[in-house]
């Protein structure tokens, strides 16, 4: 029943639901983080704020799409966003920089970056943002409206070619 509702909801937004591919990481990089840093709340972004940050190429901002790769291939992504899937790679930001690049094909964002997370509806992005805090990312944002809100506001979408 739940899967049927997910399929119906995702088809409404031009996406089809598929089970994610599960992946595991070989090693993680330990980071010392204080409780004050972890408890610092993430900034919540609305469509206009995120679009402005992207359009203005604000310094040190990294937009992170935490959906699974098949979701990006079906629906596209916010232009310029990087993909770090939450469900199949929840500890990705804990990888050492070399293994991160080998796994994802791009450099690991430095902990000094402001990471702004989004997913389809805001649930996974909230969880991913909280996990990022445990790896020393203190400047975090969450676009709770996520991709559904982006589409509803007619934000630009960058197509994604599926990886074989």
For residue 161, tell me if it sits in a domain: no
Determine, yes or no, domain membership for 48: yes
Nearest to 123 by CA among 147, 154, 99: 147
Provide the CATH number for the domain around residue 105.
Answer: 3.40.250.10
The CA distance from 54 to 80, in Å, is 8
pTM, to two decimals: 0.77
Determine, yes or no, domain membership for 115.
yes
- Which of these is catalytic: 15, 93, 116, 119? 119
- Whether 119 is a known active-site residue: answer yes
Question: Rounded to an integer, what distance in angstroms lies between the CA atom of residue 144 and that of residue 114?
Answer: 16
For the four alpha carbons of 8, 75, 129 and 88, in that order, the dihedral sign comes to positive
H helix count then E strand count, the chain: 7, 5
Distances, alpha carbon 153 to alpha carbons 45, 47, 51, 71, in Å: 14, 7, 10, 19
- Residue-wise pLDDT for 6-41, tens only, equals 333 343 445 543 333 333 444 444 444 444 445 578
105: containing domain: 22-152
Q: Is residue 17 part of a domain?
A: no
Query: Do the domain assignments include residue 11?
Result: no
Q: What is the pLDDT of residues 114-163, one digit of tens each?
A: 999 999 999 999 999 999 999 999 999 999 999 999 999 999 999 998 87
The total number of structural domains in the chain stands at 1
Confidence of residue 164 (pLDDT cuts 50, 70, 90): low
Residue 9 inside a domain? The answer is: no
């Amino acid at each position: 029943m739940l899967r049927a509702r997910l399929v119906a909801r995702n088809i409404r937004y031009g996406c089809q639901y598929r089970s994610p591919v599960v992946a595991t990481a070989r090693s993680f990089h330990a980071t010392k983080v204080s409780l004050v840093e972890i408890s610092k709340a993430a900034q919540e972004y609305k469509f206009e704020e995120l679009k402005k940050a992207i359009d203005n190429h604000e310094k040190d901002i990294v937009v992170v799409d935490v959906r699974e790769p098949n979701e990006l291939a079906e629906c596209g992504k916010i232009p310029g966003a990087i993909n770090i899937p939450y469900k199949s790679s929840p500890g990705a930001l804990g990888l050492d920089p070399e293994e991160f690049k080998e796994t994802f094909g791009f450099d690991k964002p430095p902990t000094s970056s402001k990471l702004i997370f989004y997913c389809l509806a805001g649930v996974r992005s909230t969880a991913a943002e909280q996990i990022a805090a445990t790896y020393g990312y203190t400047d975090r944002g969450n676009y709770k409206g996520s991709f559904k809100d982006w589409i509803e506001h007619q934000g630009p979408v960058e197509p994604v070619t599926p990886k074989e």
